[in-house]
Structure 1
Amino acid sequence: MKRLLLSAALLLSAGVAQAAPIPVKVVVVANWENGADTGDAPGEFQDWVEREHLDEKVPVRGAPDVVRRNKDGLYGLVLRHGVTDLAAFVLDPRFDLTHTYWLFTGISGVDPRVASVGSASWARWVVDGDEAREIDDRTVPAGWPYGLWAIGATRPNQLPYDANHFGSVTDMKQLDRAYPLNRRLARWAFELTRNVRLGDDDAVRKARARWTGFPEAQKPPFVLEGETLGALRYWHGEPRTQWARDWVSLWTRGQGRFVMTNMESQTYQKEMRAFAAQGFVDPDRIMVLRTASNFSEPPPGVAVTASIGDEGPGQVLAFDSNQRAGAPVLHELLAHWDRYRDHIPGRDDTP
């Protein structure tokens, strides 16, 4: 009897160990949340949890209380501990992520020349603004616009020509600071949502009136295409906005335009590319949607120190826009999974 029980236990454990991983269709990723995931003041995750009914918590080793899902198979992931949570989910052997679509979301500062607070932008590139050489702008050589330039170059607005990155890099590709997304997928998502009616707010509407001479900043929130620049430092002001426009144009070889600025998108895209290189995820199924909570510089006549960090009512509006603009894409993927599992939308071979 003991032998029979032992054999049964071994067979049971082998069956558990060999259980097929769960195929995950779609994951929406948020960066942070205020307090609880439901029922209080919202952060980047709460609108997704409540409106998409992400009612089931999914325990993940090393990332407690960060993953949820709904009955339709939509997963939600809030990165309370940054890349640690992302890695814990991706590396969990219970999940098959080889056909998974990812929507990385979040609020951002926006260039007032291209969009307004509350607007939502689908990115074609995520550009890394962290790794650069820097000197004080007050000490720059004559003719330089600012004291920021690419490692491996000799002045601003010049791509690297020397692969020596503190003596540690021999491949020029490692110096690239633009992470390309699937442009056809991004265009498909944009076309699907370009006419989505985004919310508005009286306080935000009143604040828009201060942006005389900036017609895009004075528009009600809308959906557009444009790049996101990630940098760990929280910069602000017209000179740095000009740097951001130049930096995005430089690294996308003039094909991209700066729209949104935030502090984490570059980190997560770098991590996702590492996972893709190991076969855990498909990089062609990654999307990035950022929504504007504030402008990247002050309105005319306002001091830069008086506007930095002033996200105010725009933050709640940006949370709302994120879910409104992103939801139709996720719903389409889930509703027609038989089509999109093997055919990425936007490709010429998509049925």
Structure 2
Amino acid sequence: MRSFLSIGAAASCLLSNVVATRIPARVGARAADSVVKPKVMIVSMFDPEADVWYGIPEFDVLAMNITIPGGSPLFPDVHCTANGDVCQYTIGESEINAATSIASLVRSPRFDLTTTYFMIAGIAGVNPEVASICSVTFAKYAVQVALQYEFSQFEIPTNFTSGYIPLGAHSPQQYPTSIYGTEVFEFNQDLQHWAAEQARTASLNDSSDAVAYRANYGVNAAYAAGAAPPAVYECDVATSDVYYSGTILGEAFGNFTTLITNGSGVYCTTAQEDNATGEALLRAAIDKLLDFSRVIVMRTASDFDRPYPGEAATTNLFWAEQGAFGPAIENIYLAGIKVVNGILDGWDGQFARGMNASNYVGDIFGSLKGSIEPDFGPYTYNNNPVKRSTKSMRRKTMKPVRVL
């Protein structure tokens, strides 16, 4: 999730428009203890992202509401259509909330998720080198960019470009030698391409404030994409609980995305949850509870991750009227409904049996043991001798710990 203090009023307006649709649980056509087998599970992170799916003409996800033990205290229910084909679940913001909520969902006896498509659908910050505010993005990779060593900005070595250094390494350019397993997730690129094509049929929302704000980025040729109107992009998402702003950190995490994916990742958006969600889904996939090749990560751009030339990073974060929060929220629905309807309409012909991935799908360890080996990781990086099971290098005073 990315948002601004200055857009609180916009969020309140959106919430007031949908509060009437918040109704007590209605079981509808299904018994209270029946097993629901969704075709699509929409994953939201907080209220505004969820609210755009309530009261829409295409389907009613408030027709059946199922409480999930272990779910977020703020969002305890999964909301589903009466026939169970489409469900929506709000997992809460940040990595801990996301992992815990998804882990609770995937092991709930109320759901059969073996053929379900998961569409993570939220807002994010955006890199103006790649895309613009109000745009829609679909990711091949989710990268946990803050899983690194960090020096204070007052103590950064003079030959380092930022205070972040990969774990076990001694410079920002070295591949990490201490691997936890959550650093990178690669998703089904064939499904990513398909979802992006569906979204490109949507008319995206914009605002006059967003048009004016993004024009400031046009003075730098490197930010040409940031100055352009909103569009649909295929590029990658960074996960960090640290809500950062500024060119130095944006470039540092972009470089880490390139490094950790062996040069194939393109840092585009920044959010707080996707690697945590990915890990919980992957562990469930290992136990055959779901199909990891059916995961879609869609993020719409609510703000720039760095200022335009001449603007302070604090202004970009705290005070700038970027005008993108409202359109980005609406574009979750406008683009996402094209994807959901495409899956439903093509269920019998394509989607029930799944869309085979032509790329590797899974984590940095190759945990799903598919026919395609990971195309990133220390065992494929520049003949790096480090293997998947590595020694922790957290502190020299600690005994080495095996990472499983």
Instruction: Sort the TM-score into its range (normalised by shorter chain).
Output: 0.7 to 0.9
The answer on 1:337 being equivalent to 2:353 is no
- Could you say if the C-alpha distance between residues 97 and 150 of structure 1 is closer, same or farther in structure 2, counting changes exceeding 3 Å? same
Alignment deviations for residues 200-246 of structure 1 (CA, whole Å, 9 cap, x no partner) = 11111121222222321122211010000010011110001101210
Deviates more, 1:98-107 or 1:199-208: 199-208
Q: Which residue of 2 aligns with 1:7?
A: none
User: For 1:95, which of 107, 111, 116 is the aligned residue?
Assistant: 111
Q: 1:275 aligns with which of 268, 273, 284?
A: 284
Decide whether aligned partners of structure 1 residues 243 and 194 sit closer, same or farther in structure 2, where only a CA change above 3 A counts: same
Q: Distance in 1 between matches of 2:203 and 2:106?
A: 33
Please list, as runs of the form range in 1=range in 2, the aligned pairs for 1:253-332 lying within 5 A after superposition: 253-309=262-318, 310=320, 313-332=323-342
**Number of residue pairs matched by the alignment:** 313
Shift of 1:142: 3.8
Q: CA deviation at 1:60?
A: 1.9
Aligned alpha-carbon RMSD (Å): 2.3
Aligned to 1:235: 244
Structure 2 residue aligned with 1:22: 36
Look up the SS of the partner of 2:55 in the other structure: helix
Structure 2: distance between partners of 1:243 and 1:273 = 27
- Match in the other structure for 2:80: 69
CA–CA separation in structure 2 for the residues paired with 1:133 and 1:311: 33
Consecutive unaligned residues of structure 1, counting only runs of 5 or more, are 1-15, 34-42, 164-171
1:79 and 2:91 matched = yes
2:55 corresponds in structure 1 to 50
Q: Tell me the amino acid that sits aligned with residue 126 of structure 2.
A: V
Per the TM alignment, residue 311 of structure 1 is displaced from its structure 2 partner at its CA by 6.9
* 1:159 aligned residue: 175
Counterpart in the other structure of 1:32: 46
Q: Quick one: which of 114, 135, 138 aligns to 2:130?
A: 114
Matched, 1:133 2:145: no
Within-5 A mapping of 1:119-268 = 119-161=135-177, 163=178, 172=179, 174-175=180-181, 177-211=183-217, 212-213=219-220, 214-268=223-277
In structure 1, C-alpha distance between the alignment counterparts of 2:309 and 2:251, rounded to whole Å: 16
- Does the CA-based 8 Å contact 1:28-1:102 persist in structure 2? yes
Task: Tell me, in whole angstroms, the C-alpha distance in 2 between the residues paired with 1:284 and 1:194.
Answer: 22
SS of 1:50's partner is: coil
After the TM superposition, which of the residue ranges 197-206 and 223-232 deviates more from structure 2? 197-206
CA distance in 1 between partners of 2:109 and 2:159 (Å): 55
Query: Partners in 2 of 1:194 and 1:346 — Cα distance?
Result: 22
- AA paired with 1:266? N
* Whole-angstrom CA distance in 1 between matches of 2:110 and 2:50: 23
Give the CA deviation at 1:56: 1.4
Flag the 1:176–1:31 CA change in 2: closer, same or farther, 3 A.
Answer: closer
- CA drift of 1:195 comes to 4.2
Shift, 1:259, TM fit: 0.5
Which residue type is aligned with residue 104 of structure 1? Answer: I
Q: For the residues of structure 1 that align with 2:188 and 2:314, how far apart are their CA atoms?
A: 37
1:347–1:178 distance in 2 versus 1, CA, 3 Å: closer
Distance 1:71 1:334, change over 3 A: farther
Change (3 A) 1:82 1:23: same
* Cα distance change of structure 1 residues 227 and 317 upon mapping to structure 2, 3 Å threshold: same
Letter in 2 for 1:186: Q
1: distance between equivalents of 2:201 and 2:103? 35
Judged with a 3 Å threshold, the aligned counterparts in structure 2 of structure 1 residues 59 and 342 are, in CA distance, closer, same or farther, namely: closer
